[in-house]
């Protein structure tokens, strides 16, 4: 008799949600559950949802509906599971009453309780069934490391605090221990993620923790320094995401210049005009942001700055949009993502005056990205002739596809690497190679491997 118990798993949303999914899958594997490739093969389906913008909500609901139709036994977790209406009623329960159980994000124990209720564990846990680094949903050579959960900001366009709660920091010892396990498992690039990476430790009042018998303050700069020193032992990269432009970011840039962490800073600015930022409830102004970026570039000339912006935020005038465009012409941000404003149910911005028509939101985004594409093209052209260290992601005929320090996986560009003549061995994913850049467009680069 086949006693295997199989669970189908669908993970939607951002890297923070991906980390939650990895934790759930790790526990499932430890308890002897198997993963199913199709709904038909599954005894139960878990769906980790996203509920940040309308498109993500729609995708989550479509996935839940499909799983219910194909399988019938569905547990829902993630941000959409935490969504409530004005009366405090659960959103998913109202629209999908046949779902077995619903939890919010970062709810490992609640998810496992739901699994045990509807599909009792096959046996007692055997930890040796799980690799030391846990179950990962990324390629073997890079991994996301979530250092905190939740956010203390109250941005008017965002509902993350209502879905994931206020900031809760992981202990510095736990973070460093997980990083070491990942490095030992072969990870060559560790990407730090959270809702607000720069605020790491605020809720703990930066109390002192311990790692390898040494005191380490629960603060992002000391964490980054310790991670950088640990990464050096394994010849690996540390990359930071979602860093607000706090004053102490200057110390992180110093670590970048010293080579401890990658000179790559993901700073979600969202806009530049002070009145728009005020309506968004975002800190500082375009002038202050520009001053900070110029200072970072003085401190670390090789730094790559990535950011995201919103066009057509409620009340955005032609003059405010022109201000943003002028800011970007001067700032010359290396990597930039732009989104037309999308109303999110429950967000305070929905009640602001003078909403911008959708067509204008889209038109402004297109205009901004056309300008940014030219900036990106010029910046990448400047790298032609330089030799860069490239982390290979995928071997291909005659070489590999990889990334430089300036390229985060899936959101930035890639480098197409050509092997030197006479080199017979295949390049492997997760291998560092030196590459002389020979060509570039607005997004990607091409180069030849230097033996």
Say whether 338 counts as a known binding-site residue. no
For residue 413, which of 306, 272, 311 has the smallest C-alpha distance? 306
Residue linked to tokens 């900036």: 375
* Token digits of residue 401: 């596809």
Looking at the DSSP bridge assignments, the partners of residue 390 are: 433
Provide the Cα torsion 226, 405, 25, 34; round to 10°. -130
User: How would you classify residue 51: left for phi > 0, otherwise alpha for psi between -120 and 50, otherwise beta?
Assistant: alpha
Runs of H (alpha helix) within 80-189: 91-95, 108-118, 160-164, 172-184
- Residue 275 has φ and ψ, to the nearest 5°, of -70, -40
Say whether 300 counts as a known binding-site residue. no
Look up residue 199 and give its DSSP letter.
G
- DSSP letter for each residue of 379-426: HHHTTTT-EEEEEEEEEETTEEEEE-TT--TTTS--EEEEPPTT--SP
Exposure b/e, 243-276, CB count within 10 A at least 16 = b: bbbbeebeebbebbeeebbbbbbbbbbbbbbbeb
Show binding-site residues: 14, 50, 79, 151, 155, 158
Annotated binding residues for [4Fe-4S] cluster, written as ranges, equal: 14, 50, 79, 151, 155, 158
């Amino acid at each position: 008799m086949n006693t295997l118990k199989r669970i189908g798993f669908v993970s939607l949303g951002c890297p923070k949600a991906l980390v939650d999914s990895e934790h759930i899958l790790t526990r499932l594997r430890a308890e002897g559950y198997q993963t199913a490739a199709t709904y038909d093969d599954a005894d139960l389906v878990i769906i980790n949802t996203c509920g940040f913008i309308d498109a993500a909500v729609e995708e989550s609901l479509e996935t839940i509906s499909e799983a219910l139709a194909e399988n019938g036994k569905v547990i829902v977790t993630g941000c959409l599971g935490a969504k409530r209406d004005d009366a405090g009623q659960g959103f998913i329960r109202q629209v999908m009453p046949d779902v077995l159980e619903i939890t919010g994000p970062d709810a490992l124990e609640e998810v496992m309780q739901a699994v045990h209720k509807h599909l009792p564990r096959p046996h007692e846990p055997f930890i040796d069934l799980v690799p030391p680094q846990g179950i990962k949903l990324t390629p073997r050579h890079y991994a996301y490391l979530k250092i905190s959960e939740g956010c203390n900001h109250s941005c008017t366009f965002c509902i993350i605090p209502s879905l994931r709660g206020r900031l809760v920091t992981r202990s510095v010892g736990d973070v460093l221990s997980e990083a070491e396990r990942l490095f030992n498992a072969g990870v060559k690039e560790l990407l730090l993620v959270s809702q607000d990476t720069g605020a790491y430790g605020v809720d703990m009042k930066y109390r002192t923790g311990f790692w390898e018998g040494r005191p380490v303050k629960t603060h992002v700069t000391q964490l980054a320094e310790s991670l950088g020193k640990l990464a050096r032992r394994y010849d690996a990269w540390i990359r930071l995401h979602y860093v607000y432009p706090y004053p102490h970011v200057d110390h992180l840039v110093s670590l970048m210049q010293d080579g401890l962490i990658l000179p790559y800073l993901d700073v979600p600015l969202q806009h530049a005009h002070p009145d728009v930022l005020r309506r968004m409830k975002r800190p500082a102004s375009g002038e202050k942001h520009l001053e900070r970026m110029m200072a970072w570039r003085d401190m670390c000339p090789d730094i790559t700055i990535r950011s995201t912006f919103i066009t057509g935020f409620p009340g955005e005038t032609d003059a405010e949009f022109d201000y943003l465009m002028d800011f970007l012409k001067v700032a010359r941000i290396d990597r930039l993502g732009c989104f037309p404003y999308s109303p999110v149910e429950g967000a305070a911005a929905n009640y602001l005056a003078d909403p911008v028509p959708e067509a204008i939101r889209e038109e402004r985004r297109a205009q901004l990205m056309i300008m940014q594409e030219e900036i990106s093209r010029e910046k990448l052209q400047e790298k032609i002739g330089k030799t860069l260290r490239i982390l290979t992601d995928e071997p291909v005929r005659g070489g590999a596809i990889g990334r430089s320090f300036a390229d985060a996986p899936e959101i930035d560009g890639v480098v197409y690497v050509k092997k030197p003549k006479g080199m017979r061995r295949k390049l492997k994913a997760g291998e560092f190679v030196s590459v002389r850049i020979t060509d570039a467009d607005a997004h990607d680069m091409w180069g030849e491997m230097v033996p």
